[in-house]
Structures are given as structure tokens and as C-alpha cells.
């Protein structure tokens, strides 16, 4: 009898241990960094955010910034993705630059995973997948983690009961978790919370390097009618932004321009636009995952961007005529092509508007070809 009990107890413990190992391996896998392709011969240097805020040294958010210095003095652009780590179009635009760009005049800086901590977890109870994969023509596979919009609590915890930082945004009540949102705390605090430190590193990087303009990439749910396929610009960046948007529209990529709200405290276009000399812009593409009416958040929804719910809402006229929700959805190659195109047109527009600071980029894939053939065609093989 005693032996039977012992066997039963050991069996229960073994089953519990097995469940822990299986569940734990998913968490462990999510902690592993993405392998990026860095074989582009036009990369001239790699900086780290800790070069601009030493407090980040040894932390998950000591992120790489890739430098494309043409050797020809001119304008300086900072293009980055991964502020919100489930808004994958922005990250894959930065990857496209990293893998293909060549700077012909001036300097381009590219950051892929702005809030790297965000990639290490997904939002609890949301049932979201943690990575997306692309099968390349040579038989190899590229994998990219998908996270959530906030810093992981294992890297920054607990949230304060109240926070009023230099962003001007008062964090209290149900907004307290936003202390872990990279796009609510600009220009940051040098020795503050990890997210504030990351913001401050970006702020100091812009000032130290004399960055002329930035593009912070995002994605929004279709019900965000003032944001989808929209370039949001600080008032100082209106000539730059409007020229770029116009050229995208001419290239058959419809989008619109929106002014940064005067009280959009802590967002990059306001917090960095007010506190640095950089012309600050932010682009949002359409990703059904980011809204409140999506279906199950599996890999297909992230990649294909097809949502029957959103299509029905659009057909019912709920989104006006700002953009279409076509039957083929908003696939990742189309969203990435939008980010890539607005980034490129911002560079072209800056070059035209500020001829004393030339900046030119080449080597990027054709946007319409990217949409037609998919990212499997443009992503580089890791061999």
C-alpha cells in the first residue's frame, strides 16, 4: 500500500516535471535572439545603444545600430523598426535595409529591434504565436520572433504606482504598464526604468550623431482610421513628410499624412521631435493583429493579413474611404513594401529639400515586385 502511494506520488511529480519542461521550452525559445543576415558589404559599422547610454550595457536592450556611411558628407537618416514588436512590417523593413541598402551619399543608420526586450514574450492570454517563418527558394528557412508592444516584465518590474517623466505623459491608473512602452516615454531618462533608458539612448544617439530625420515604423489595426497607411509627422517635418507621401501615392502606394498631436506625449514624433533637431516621422501600416476584432492570432494572420471580420467591417462602410480591406488582405510583403517605400521617399525628399545635405540610397528591392513575389524572394539566405 505504502509502495503504491509512493509510485503514484513519483508519477505525479514526473508528469508535472514533464509539463514544466514542455512549457518552459516555449519560454526559453522565445528568449533566443533572431539570427540576422549581416553580410551586406555596404555596412560600414555597428554601434550599440550602450554607446549612448552606458546604463544599457549588459541589458537585453543594448541593441545594434547598423551604419551605412557612404563616405560622402551629407544628410543623416535613422530608420528603425521594432518599437512595438508585434508590428512586424516595421521590423522587416529594417531587415530589408540591413540586407540590401547601399548609401551613395550621406549616412543611413538602421536599427531592427528597437525594444529588444519586447521580442522575448507575448501578451498573456492572447494566444498569439511567437515567431514567423519564411521558406526561401534555396530550401532554407528564415525565422523572426514576434513579441508584444511592451518591455518584458522579467527585464523591467514592477511597474510604478505613478510616473511623470520628461515625456510630459502622466502615467497612472490603467496606463501604468505604458512605462514599458518605448513609444510613450521619449525622450527618456538616462538612469530611469529600462524602457526610459532605451528612449534616452535613442535621444542621445540622435543628438550625438546629428541625425537629420528619423522614421519610426509601426502597424495599426484597421479601425485606427487616422493611422493606417499614414505618415505621422512633427510640425517641423511637414515639408519632408508631405513630399515623401506624395511620391509614394504617385508610385501606386496610397497613403496619407497626419500631424503629430501637440499632446502626443512620449511618442517618438512628439518626444524626439520637440527635444532634438531631427525631423521626426512615424509610419503605420495595416495589420489586423493590432486591432480589436481579429481572428485567432496564428502565423497566417500575421503573414497574410487576411481577416474576414475586418473585410466585413470595411464592406459595411465603417472605415470610410481612407483605405481598402481587399479580399487578399494586407499581406506582410505589402506592408513591408509600404514601409520600405516611405523610408526611401523620405530619403529622396530630404535630398531634394536640403541640397546642402545630400543623401542617397540604392540597392533596395522594387516595392511592386516585393508585393508580387513575396518576402521569400527578397530575404537573404543564412546558408
* Cβ 183 to Zn ion shortest distance, Å: 6
Cis peptide before 158 (omega within 30 of 0): yes
* Cβ 232 to Zn ion shortest distance, Å: 11
Q: Which is nearer to Zn ion, 220 or 361 (CB)?
A: 220
Q: Which is nearer to Zn ion, 84 or 163 (CB)?
A: 84
Burial 13-29 (b: 16+ CB within 10 A, else e): eeeeeeeeeeeeeeeee
Interacting positions 29-68 with Zn ion (CB under 5 A): none
Q: Which is nearer to Zn ion, 87 or 212 (CB)?
A: 87
Angstrom distance (rounded) from CA 330 to CA 221: 11
Please state, as a whole number, how many other Cβ atoms lie within 10 Å of the Cβ of residue 383.
Answer: 7
From the list 79-87, 97-105, 259-267, 348-356, the region that binds Zn ion by CB under 5 A is: 79-87
Interacting positions 212-241 with Zn ion (CB under 5 A): 218
* Cβ 218 to Zn ion shortest distance, Å: 3
Q: Which is nearer to Zn ion, 87 or 196 (CB)?
A: 87
Under rule CB under 5 A, residue 180 binds Zn ion? no
**Number of residues near Zn ion (by CB under 5 A):** 3
* Cβ 241 to Zn ion shortest distance, Å: 18
**Is residue 257 helix, strand or coil?**
strand
Interacting positions 260-299 with Zn ion (CB under 5 A): none
Under rule CB under 5 A, residue 184 binds Zn ion? no
From the list 6-14, 78-86, 248-256, 307-315, the region that binds Zn ion by CB under 5 A is: 78-86
Angstrom distance (rounded) from CA 114 to CA 91: 9
Under rule CB under 5 A, residue 339 binds Zn ion? no
From the list 55-63, 210-218, 238-246, 371-379, the region that binds Zn ion by CB under 5 A is: 210-218
From the list 60-68, 76-84, 124-132, 304-312, the region that binds Zn ion by CB under 5 A is: 76-84
Q: Which is nearer to Zn ion, 83 or 107 (CB)?
A: 83
Q: How far is CA 102 from the centre of its chain?
A: 21
Interacting positions 85-104 with Zn ion (CB under 5 A): 87
Angstrom distance (rounded) from CA 82 to CA 147: 9
In the chain, beta strands by DSSP E: 45-48, 64-69, 76-80, 102-105, 107-111, 131-135, 141-145, 163-164, 170-171, 213-220, 230-233, 256-259, 279-286, 360-362
Under rule CB under 5 A, residue 76 binds Zn ion? no
Angstrom distance (rounded) from CA 222 to CA 315: 12
Selected binder of Zn ion within 55, 63, 82, 84 (CB under 5 A): 84
Nearest to 204 by CA among 51, 61, 44, 45: 51
Please name every residue paired with 231 in a beta bridge, in sequence order, or none if there are none.
257, 283
Under rule CB under 5 A, residue 121 binds Zn ion? no
Inter-residue contact 88 to 132 (CB < 8 Å): yes
Q: Which is nearer to Zn ion, 145 or 218 (CB)?
A: 218
Q: Which is nearer to Zn ion, 218 or 335 (CB)?
A: 218
Nearest to 63 by CA among 82, 87, 44: 82
Distances (CA, A) of 294 to 58, 119, 128, 302, 331: 37, 21, 11, 11, 14
Tell me which residues touch Zn ion (CB under 5 A).
84, 87, 218
Amino acid at each position: 500500500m505504502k509502495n503504491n502511494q509512493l509510485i503514484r506520488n513519483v508519477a505525479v511529480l514526473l508528469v508535472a516535471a514533464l509539463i514544466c519542461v514542455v512549457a518552459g521550452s516555449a519560454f526559453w525559445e522565445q528568449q533566443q535572439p533572431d539570427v540576422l543576415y549581416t553580410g551586406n558589404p555596404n555596412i560600414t559599422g555597428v554601434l550599440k545603444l550602450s554607446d549612448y547610454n552606458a546604463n544599457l550595457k549588459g541589458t537585453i536592450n543594448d541593441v545594434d545600430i547598423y551604419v551605412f556611411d557612404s563616405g560622402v558628407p551629407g544628410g543623416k537618416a535613422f530608420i528603425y523598426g521594432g518599437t512595438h514588436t508585434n508590428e512586424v512590417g516595421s521590423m522587416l523593413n529594417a531587415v530589408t535595409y540591413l540586407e540590401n541598402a547601399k548609401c551613395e551619399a550621406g549616412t543611413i543608420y538602421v536599427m531592427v529591434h528597437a525594444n529588444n526586450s519586447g521580442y522575448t514574450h507575448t501578451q498573456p492570454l492572447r494566444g498569439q504565436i511567437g515567431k514567423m517563418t519564411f521558406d526561401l527558394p534555396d530550401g532554407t528557412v528564415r525565422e523572426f520572433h514576434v513579441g508584444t508592444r511592451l518591455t518584458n516584465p522579467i527585464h523591467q518590474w514592477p511597474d510604478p504606482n505613478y510616473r511623470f517623466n520628461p515625456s510630459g505623459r502622466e502615467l497612472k491608473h490603467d496606463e501604468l504598464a505604458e512605462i514599458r512602452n518605448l513609444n510613450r516615454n521619449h525622450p527618456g531618462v538616462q538612469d530611469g526604468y529600462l524602457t526610459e533608458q532605451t528612449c534616452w539612448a535613442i535621444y542621445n544617439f540622435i543628438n550625438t550623431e546629428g541625425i537629420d530625420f528619423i522614421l519610426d515604423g509601426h502597424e495599426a489595426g484597421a479601425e485606427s482610421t487616422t493611422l493606417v497607411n499614414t505618415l505621422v509627422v512633427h510640425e517641423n517635418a511637414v515639408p519632408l513628410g508631405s513630399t515623401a507621401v506624395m511620391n509614394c501615392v504617385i508610385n501606386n502606394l496610397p497613403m496619407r499624412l497626419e500631424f503629430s498631436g501637440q499632446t502626443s506625449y512620449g511618442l517618438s514624433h512628439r518626444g524626439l521631435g520637440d527635444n532634438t533637431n531631427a525631423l521626426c516621422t512615424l509610419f503605420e501600416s495595416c495589420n489586423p493583429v493590432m486591432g480589436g476584432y481579429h481572428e485567432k492570432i496564428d502565423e497566417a494572420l500575421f503573414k497574410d493579413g487576411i481577416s474576414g471580420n475586418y473585410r466585413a467591417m470595411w464592406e459595411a462602410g465603417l472605415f470610410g474611404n481612407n483605405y481598402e480591406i481587399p479580399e487578399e488582405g494586407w499581406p506582410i510583403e505589402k506592408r513591408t513594401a509600404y514601409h520600405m517605400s516611405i523610408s526611401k521617399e523620405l530619403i529622396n525628399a530630404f535630398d531634394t529639400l536640403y541640397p546642402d545635405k545630400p543623401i542617397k540610397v540604392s540597392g533596395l528591392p522594387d516595392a511592386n515586385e516585393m508585393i508580387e513575389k513575396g518576402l521569400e524572394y527578397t530575404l537573404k539566405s543564412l546558408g
